[in-house]
Amino acid sequence: MPCGLILAIDQGTTNTKALLVDRSGTPVFRTSCSVPLIQSSFGHVEQDPEVLWDSVRKAIVESVFHAAQSGSSIDAVAISNQRETAVAWNVETGKPVAHAISWQCTRSAGICRQLAAHTGTIRRKTGLPLATLISAGKWAWLLENDPQSKKLAQAGTLRFGNVDAWLIHRLSAGTVHATDFSNASRTGLLNLAELCWDSDLLDLFGIPVQTLPALRSSSGLFGTCEGIYGLEGVPILATIGDSHAAMFGHGEYTAGTVKATYGTGSSLMALTPALPADTPILARTIAWSIAGETQFALEGNIPMTGAAVQWVGEFLGLTEPATEAASLADSVSNADGAYFVPAMVGLGAPYWDAAARGTICGLGRSHTAAHLARSAIDAIAYQVADVAFAMEGAGGIAFEAFHADGGASRNNTLMQFQADILGRPVLRSANEELSALGASWLAGLALGWWSGLQEISDLPRNVDQFAPTMDPTDRKRFYAGWKSAVARTRFNPESEA
């Protein structure tokens, strides 16, 4: 009898990855395919939904071939996906009606301004700030500016969804229009308390409810694959937003568990025992839903972390900016009192100050380019600590350890300094495809491979641990210096006029 595998598809902003995962919860095959972003003449950021689908098809072909060569069967498909990117298609033809509007695109800024008076209501109901990030504003923009979308909406044949819903539509040959609660919680339309599309918010954004996908648990049946060689009749048993999937892939499921995904920017998520109270400094979200049980979380996003190291490398004129800046940083033991606050595009969580601007302070005659580079590495850890401490306060939780994943987490200097500033151990996942892995485990639950979260938590995990070694007095002094530097970025001369 062939060995069963789960095909996990992780459709991200710049690439599509696929894993084949066996019954031990371990990846046995990996493949990836890059996908382009489209920068329009209007400054819009888009992606072609058909190109996204083609990248998934290519990953499927390679995965099916490997499974066949190894004498294995594919028993289920799981999806993790880039969040908030908004897709629209014609349900009768199955074709997209416009390019997908990327999560990075700010074209809905005008709609956000029009709805500014409702900011509090939107945050209270959805857990999200009224910002260009949320999908609702992007779909509202299409209905206002794209004649075809407006016409199809009036005819009842327009369908909206994030990338997960689009992929489910294509995998099922157009027979299923569904999403999970983690993705729905990023749209700005889901009522967190009632776990339904909010009728008042639908009216506010002008979005017909019939355009939206059905809401389902993250682990469970989303339909079966149709018309796809090697996957015919294979069930789709999980879908989840990529940051949520990475959280699940860490294998810790108790309230108070905190993780950070380190990349160009960084995303933190903390599991909470219940739906957290409304807070203006952090987002509230749904981590996942399993068998009708909803796991809530707090989330905080930081716009410039790895990008700060890249910026310093460019500022110093280095040939390979990020790589060489990181090497420079490793040549000194600390930043020697220098602080770099990378607020070039404002400050994200927990400050949410769009007017803040970057600053470098604490410089002395003895400082070198290496100290500047080290201050950029340190800035990542400081910003993450700001959000982590805010999560403890807002969520009424205390975390004993801190989980890390993402490209920038490969930097050992950063991970050690992170542990020192947090005063807690940092556990770095050795798996670089944590989102796909997390999605596969959710599908495995639906298959009955594992009986519950405890059994998944007991699966083998490869982590690197960084224990705090800094003296508490030094930790307090360094962090106080950082807070003082942040305060400098928030000084607005115009407000003093």
CB of 215 within 8 A of CB of 179?
yes
The arithmetic mean of pLDDT across residues 445-451, rounded, is 94
C-alpha distances (whole Å) from 234 to each of 116, 134, 229, 245, 487 are 45, 32, 11, 21, 55
pLDDT at 492: 55
Strand partners, 160: 88
Nearest-angstrom CA–CA distance, 169 and 171: 6
38 contact partners, CB below 8 Å, separation of at least 6:
45, 46, 47, 48, 99
Question: Is 80 exceeded by the pLDDT of residue 276?
Answer: yes
Q: For position 491, what pLDDT does the model report? A: 64
The tokens describing 61, both together, are: 């072909």
pLDDT tens digits, one per residue of 149-195: 999 999 999 999 999 999 999 999 999 999 999 999 999 999 999 99
**Is residue 406 over pLDDT 80?**
yes
**Average pLDDT of the segment spanning 316-345:** 93
| Contact of 18 with 7, CB cutoff 8 Å | yes
CB 351 within 8 A of CB 301: no
Specify the pLDDT at position 474: 95
- Per-residue pLDDT at 394: 86
In angstroms, the CA 259 to CA 272 distance is: 13
Instruction: With CA atoms as reference, report the closest residue to 339 among 482, 173, 187, 201.
Output: 482
Dihedral sign (CA 115, 289, 260, 5): negative
pLDDT, tens digit, 9 for 90 and up, residues 278-289: 998 999 999 999
For residue 72, is pLDDT > 60?
yes
Q: What is the 8-class DSSP label of residue 277?
A: P
Q: What confidence tens digit (pLDDT) does each residue in 114-147 have?
A: 999 999 999 999 999 888 889 999 999 999 999 9
Q: What is the pLDDT of residue 197?
A: 98
Q: What is the mean pLDDT of residues 186-214?
A: 97
Confidence of residue 2 (pLDDT cuts 50, 70, 90): low
Read off the pLDDT of each residue in 53-73 and give the average, rounded to a whole number: 94
Q: Residues 150, 143: contact at Cβ < 8 Å?
A: yes
Q: What is the mean pLDDT of the chain?
A: 92
The token duo for 213 is 């996908």
Largest separation between any pair of C-alpha atoms in the chain: 78
CA distance 255 to 336: 37
Quote the pLDDT of residue 1: 44
pLDDT-based confidence at residue 348 (cuts at 50, 70, 90): confident
Mean pLDDT of 346-352: 88
**Which domains, ranges and CATH numbers included, belong to the chain?**
3-242 (3.30.420.40)
Confidence (pLDDT) at 42: 76
Given the structure tokens 């000084």, which residue do they identify? Answer: 491
Q: Residues with Cβ < 8 Å from 326, sequence gap 6 or more?
A: 309, 373, 377, 411, 413
